[in-house]
Amino acid sequence: MKKLIVLLLISLSINAFSQNKGKALLNEVSSKVKGYENISIDFKYTLENISENIKQETKGDVVMQSDQYRLNILGVTRLFDGKTLYSISTEDEEVTISSEIDDENDAITPSKMLSFYEDGYTYVLDIEQNINGRKIQYVKLVPIDSNSEIKNILLGIDSQTKHIYNLIQVGKNGTKTTLTVNSFKTNTPLSKSLFTFDANKYKDFYINKLD
C-alpha cells in the first residue's frame, strides 16, 4: 500500500512539474508576442479527415496588430478592424459583414492565434522534435469546456526564438487542422489603411450584412 501511495505521489509530482513547465513556456511565448508592435506571418494550412477521405492544403498570410488583422486565404480576404469583420471574395464579388465573435464561434482566429491558450485550457509539456535543425517543443492543450468541439491542440514552439512554429488542432469529429508558420516577421512598416475597409472599392459587390 505504501509503495502504491509513493508511486501515486511521484506520478502527481511529475504531472504537476510538466504542467508548470508548460505554463512557463507559454508565458514566455505570450510575453514575447505582446512586445511586438505588429506581426506578419506566411503559413501553410492543412485540413485532414481520414474517415471522410478529405485532405486539403493551402497557403495564406496574415498581418496582425493589436486586435486587428488582415488575413488572405482560399481566395478570400478577411479584414478585422477591431470591431467588424469583413470577408471579401473577389471571385464571388461579395462582401460579408459581421462581428468576429458571431462569425468564428469556437475557432481560433488570427487575433487569438498567438494568445488563445491563456484562458480555457489545461496544458502539459508534450514531445520535443528536431525539425530542420530547430528544436520544437510541443505543449498539449485540452479545452476545459467539455462542450467544446476541440478535442485537443498541440502547440509547437521554437525553443530558441520562443515563436510558435505550428498549431495542430484535433476536433471531436476527427478533423485535424494544421497551421505551419513559414515566415514570421515583426515590427514592419504598415500602411495606415491596412485594416480599414474601403467601401468605395466594392461598389459593384453584393454586400451581405449579418445581424
Measured distance CA(40)–CA(49) in Å, rounded? 29
State residue 98 phi and psi, 5-degree precision: -155, 180
Closest CA to 153 of 131, 177, 129, 130: 177
**Residues 190, 63 contacting (CB under 8 angstroms):** yes
pLDDT computed for residue 106 by the predictor: 52
Measured distance CA(129)–CA(178) in Å, rounded? 16
Binned at pLDDT 50, 70 and 90, residue 12 comes out as very low
End-to-end CA distance of the chain: 62
Binned at pLDDT 50, 70 and 90, residue 13 comes out as very low
Can you tell me the mean pLDDT for 126-146? Answer: 93
Binned at pLDDT 50, 70 and 90, residue 188 comes out as very high
> What is the pTM for the complete model shown?
0.79
Element (H, E) at 16: helix 2-34
Tell me the sheet residues that pair with 39.
64, 186
Sorted by sequence, the CB contacts under 8 Å of residue 60 that are 6+ apart come out as 42, 43, 45, 71, 72, 73, 74
pLDDT tens digits, one per residue of 89-104: 999 999 999 886 544 5
Closest CA to 164 of 61, 51, 26: 26
- Can you tell me whether residue 128 is helix, strand or coil? strand
